[in-house]
Amino acid sequence: MNLENYLAEHIELFNKSKNVLQDIENIACRICECLINNRKVLIAGNGGSAADAQHFAAEFTGRFEVERSGLNAIALTTDTSALTAIANDYGYHKVFSRQLAAIGNKGDVFIGISTSGKSESIINAFNVAREKGITSIMMTGKTGEPNVADFVIRAQSEKTSLIQEFHSFALHCICKIVDEKFAK
């Protein structure tokens, strides 16, 4: 394994993805508006994207880089009783849409993370978000479905590990902007 080539892949991805910085800023502003209005941010993903969802929610409820009050964010990936009950009773494709239907409200923000952009459990949640007036944000890779969410952060890659690393960067950018807005 040539680590210099691996690093070059990352640099190339980030250079190709500079065009999404304004989208990230717009999304962060929408999230700030949601939180100012005492609404919540709900996040979901599968596998590594589930870990990203939990990480992002923790940055909000705890803190990112500056002291501020905790912010209302929930990872829909963490309630194993809900996940297993819904998967058992309705099928895995409904694990996030059922939760979003139950606890999501108009004015909330839903972030669905899917490296492929084709995960049925995430797509179904976007459909519920649309029905309920919940702002939806898709984080995906190069081939993700283009018209399922209000906003899209697209990593210009088809390689899962690179997409996940770009998503982590994008989520931290959002945290940085939110920190500035809510800093004490």
pLDDT of the residue at 143: 85
Q: Which residues constitute the domain of residue 161?
A: 3-182
Say which CATH number the domain at 68 has.
Answer: 3.40.50.10490
For 13-59, the pLDDT digits (tens) are 888 888 899 999 999 999 999 999 999 999 999 999 999 999 999 99
Distance CA 72, CA 60 (A): 7
Exposed, middle or buried: residue 75 (CB in 10 Å: 0-12, 13-18, 19+)? buried
Give the predicted TM-score (pTM) of the model: 0.95
Question: pLDDT, tens digit, for every residue of 151-162?
Answer: 999 999 999 999
- Overall number of domains in the chain: 1
pLDDT, position 10: 87
1 — pLDDT class (breaks 50, 70, 90)? low
